[in-house]
Structure 1
Amino acid sequence: MNTLQLNIENSLPHDWQRATLVGRVWLPGERGGPAVVVIRDGEVIDCSAHFATLSLLLDHDQPLQAVREISGTSLGSIEDLLANSGEQRDPAKPYLLAPTDLQVIKAAGVTFASSMIERVIEEKAGGDALRAEEIRALVQAAIGDNLRDLKPGSPEAMRLKQVLIEQKMWSQYLEVGIGPDAEIFTKAPILAAVGSGNAIGIHPGSSWNNPEPEVVLAVDSQGRIYGATLGNDVNLRDFEGRSALLLSKAKDNNASCALGPFIRLFDEHFSLDDVRNCEVTLRVEGQDGYVLNGKSSMNQISRDPADLAAQTLNENHQYPDGFVLFLGTLFAPTDDRDHPGQGFTHKPGDVVSISSPTLGALHNRVTTSDQAPRWTFGVGDLMKNLAERGLLG
């Protein structure tokens, strides 16, 4: 089995030298613990003396200015940090953590209406191509030819809903896909996400599951979007398919949420418009020689990222420490891995790589959630650690 290794070429944005990258690392030693860092001139700068948590930094009135003006201690080169963040780690040296701490980890589902509707058409047609064409004709008569342009909650979406009801095709997933209200759920507990180079966990009882490559927004307590990173919203399709009430079990297991490698802050070189046009690619490499390639184009999303953030934080729900928000994916693997008709599912040992030119790449190896390293460092541990290091003011 090849060892998973991280380096500048396979992990950082193509223009990383001009990008504003912030994140978290684990510092070794008796007085060690999580540290907030910024990448500057190829060096990893520890900013913990100024911002004990990444949520505090992102909740600053002007985080970009703060990052540019901040002073701190160099922890070494970004190249050395990445080299020690793969599967062969020296615990006496710093290594990457997920770039989130006290922020709530939220996710939006069913945000790509066009692919969702096509799946419903195929399902209701029962594999009959002629029947599928008949159903598609009814849909196109209601909303036109380009389903990608369908705006959730619009009059066109409501006409489509009526057509689907009449054809007995309506479902709760379509409601959140084309209705006015987005599906927003909690993906993982605070501090439970794993970073690049760590194992990701699949529930051992699942036989049909897949990665979900997504762009993830970084949002402060006031709802201001300050940057983005990459995420893997690991999903158990068999659990969720049995019942929508099993969503939390399908989504939230040990090591089932990966984020990283860094949050890229918005600046003169990177903005929310770049997120809106982001191309996210996926590659799965199995120990059996299997390779799966896919992509998700953010310009096909049905709900604008800013709207999804506004549906998460508003007068009805607040997040005092901010949140990160998975934006959903266009990617849904259907290629058979082993036997015809059984589609794709993970196997232990798979290496999942999620990448984007502007955000870098997130790499994780698949294991089962009971075999992944246990999550033991919670909020209480974080507060105790920061207090012992004299970082709580």
Structure 2
Amino acid sequence: MPDDVEDSILIGRIWDPAGGGPSPVVVRGGDVFDVSAEFPTVRDICELAEPAAVVSGLDGRRVGSFAEVLANTAAAVRDRDRPWLLAPVDLQALKAAGVTFAVSMIERVIEERARGDLGLAADIRQRTLAGVGADLHNLSPGSEEAARVKSLFVAEGLWSQYLEVGIGPDAEIFTKGQILSAVGTAVPVGVLAASNWNNPEPEVALIVQSSGRIVGATLGNDVNLRDVEGRSALLLPLAKDNNASCALGPLIRLFDDRFDLERVRGLEVRLDIEGEDGFRLEAISEMTQISRDPEALVRQLVGPHHHYPDGAVLMLGTMFAPTQDRDRPGEGFTHKVDDIVRIGSPALGTLVNRVRHTEDCEPWDFGVRDLMGNLVRRGLL
């Protein structure tokens, strides 16, 4: 949980065996309280005029300590008679912004040119970085200066569609997964078995009301198949939206007078990967390096041009560009089964997942119809 947990207003979701379905919870003082009698979904909490103020005074049924619920979530053999954690969002649309950091933009250009070839990518990376040489994170996308830099890329034969979304006027915002398909902390995340070049993408994710107002934040792993997207940007759905490929959590921290969007703008997001082969990778994403302000991204997500009646979670993109060699020189990083991925920030806690082939992860089989039926049977709707 956050370092300043006692000053944090935290909500999430559990699977409640007694009710045979998910319940929104408030985490307070190290304990987990079921508040489904007041709010059947997390969406209902997040759509309140003042979510933090309501939650801070909300009572509920204690279901256990957070440590107990987390331990059951992570257990090799889970006790199905006790609650476990789920992703902290439910009916919100799962959206993500891409190429919002200059380093990420360069890597996407490399992916596109290499067409999934790791060796070719290393050569292109060396030549591209030597040719660019500029500090791109200070560029304002859509500005005259950004247009000038884009023209320099083009003159060097480095035109790419990723330049358009990296420094052009329009952001790349895509659907990361279907409603209710996200996984939470302490469970596997998935990469396709056929993929041989992939990586985690540690990100801050905003909780956005249907009105477009931002009311909280959590952590996310926008798992990416670099070889798939590198073959063609039109394969983005295959590269991004697979079983267990979107992880969120551990909890949502609601905005209040101690934690707001200004603090989000200054967050550091740490990534730690440990492999059973002894491999270790550590990196930091600094939100101060983002090319597009979070509010600007939300304005491109929701407004008169597009509505989300149940709100959305928007992953803000990553500056993590994994070039550290893992097996052979020049081939960079890719996941192996059983990698442990930790994505953490002092203000938001730590999201922890083990990597599996997506085909071997627990299948997503509880959809919107199942949720509605469950809530009706429990007398919550």
Tell me the TM-score range normalised by the shorter chain.
over 0.9
Cα shift at 1:18: 1.3
**Structure 1: distance between partners of 2:313 and 2:101:** 19
Contact (CA 8 Å) 1:108, 1:326: kept in 2 or not? yes
Q: Deviations over 1:152-210 (max 9, x none)?
A: 00110011122222222111001000000000000000000001011111111100000
Q: Which deviates more, 103-112 or 273-282?
A: 273-282
**Structure 1: distance between partners of 2:298 and 2:171:** 10
**Do structure 1's residue 67 and structure 2's residue 55 form an aligned pair?**
yes
Letter matched to residue 158 of structure 2: M
* C-alpha distance 115-199 of structure 1, shift in aligned 2 (>3 A): closer
Please tell me the root mean square deviation across aligned C-alpha atoms, in Å.
2.0
Which of 19, 27, 32 is equivalent to 1:44? 32
**Structure 2: distance between partners of 1:232 and 1:322:** 20
Contact (CA 8 Å) 1:125, 1:132: kept in 2 or not? no
Instruction: Give 1:257's aligned residue.
Output: 246
* C-alpha distance 85-64 of structure 1, shift in aligned 2 (>3 A): same
Which of 332, 335, 339 is equivalent to 2:328? 339
Alignment of 1:302-313 (within 5 A): 302-313=291-302
SS at match of 1:330: coil
Cα shift at 1:125: 11
Instruction: Give 2:81's aligned residue.
Output: 92
Cα shift at 1:69: 2.2
SS at match of 1:254: coil
SS at match of 1:299: helix
Alignment of 1:20-59 (within 5 A): 20-29=9-18, 31-59=19-47
Cα shift at 1:292: 1.1
**Structure 2: distance between partners of 1:302 and 1:317:** 23
Q: Structure 2: where are the runs of 5+ without partners? A: 114-120
Letter matched to residue 26 of structure 2: V
Which of 131, 153, 157 is equivalent to 2:146? 157
Which of 90, 114, 136 is equivalent to 1:147? 136
**Structure 2: distance between partners of 1:206 and 1:131:** 25
* C-alpha distance 284-118 of structure 1, shift in aligned 2 (>3 A): closer
Q: Deviations over 1:124-172 (max 9, x none)?
A: 9956978864x336xxxxxxx5322101001100111222222221110
Q: Which runs of 4+ in 1 moved over 6 A?
A: 121-125, 128-131
Contact (CA 8 Å) 2:253, 2:348: kept in 1 or not? yes
**Do structure 1's residue 279 and structure 2's residue 268 form an aligned pair?**
yes
**Do structure 1's residue 209 and structure 2's residue 198 form an aligned pair?**
yes
SS at match of 2:259: coil
Cα shift at 1:64: 1.1
Q: Deviations over 1:222-244 (max 9, x none)?
A: 00100100000000000000010
Letter matched to residue 382 of structure 1: L
**Structure 2: distance between partners of 1:348 and 1:118:** 23
**Structure 1: distance between partners of 2:288 and 2:187:** 30
Return the TM-score normalized by structure 1: 0.91
SS at match of 1:17: helix
Return the TM-score normalized by structure 2: 0.93
**Do structure 1's residue 243 and structure 2's residue 239 form an aligned pair?**
no
Contact (CA 8 Å) 1:121, 1:136: kept in 2 or not? no
Cα shift at 1:82: 1.7
Letter matched to residue 173 of structure 1: Y
Instruction: Give 1:227's aligned residue.
Output: 216
Cα shift at 1:45: 1.2
**Structure 1: distance between partners of 2:232 and 2:279:** 30
Contact (CA 8 Å) 2:199, 2:334: kept in 1 or not? yes
Which of 255, 275, 287 is equivalent to 1:266? 255
* C-alpha distance 131-52 of structure 1, shift in aligned 2 (>3 A): closer
Which of 90, 94, 109 is equivalent to 2:98? 109
* C-alpha distance 261-166 of structure 1, shift in aligned 2 (>3 A): same
**Structure 1: distance between partners of 2:370 and 2:125:** 56
**Structure 2: distance between partners of 1:129 and 1:43:** 51
**Structure 2: distance between partners of 1:179 and 1:324:** 23
Cα shift at 1:345: 0.7
The alignment of Structure 1 onto Structure 2 pairs a total of residues equal to 372
**Structure 2: distance between partners of 1:34 and 1:157:** 46
Which of 182, 189, 192 is equivalent to 1:200? 189
Q: What is the aligned-residue identity percentage? A: 56
Q: Structure 1: where are the runs of 5+ without partners? A: 1-11, 138-144
Letter matched to residue 273 of structure 1: E
SS at match of 1:217: strand
SS at match of 2:49: coil
Letter matched to residue 261 of structure 2: L
* C-alpha distance 119-379 of structure 1, shift in aligned 2 (>3 A): closer
Letter matched to residue 42 of structure 1: G
* C-alpha distance 237-132 of structure 1, shift in aligned 2 (>3 A): closer
Instruction: Give 2:157's aligned residue.
Output: 168
**Structure 2: distance between partners of 1:356 and 1:381:** 33
SS at match of 2:217: strand
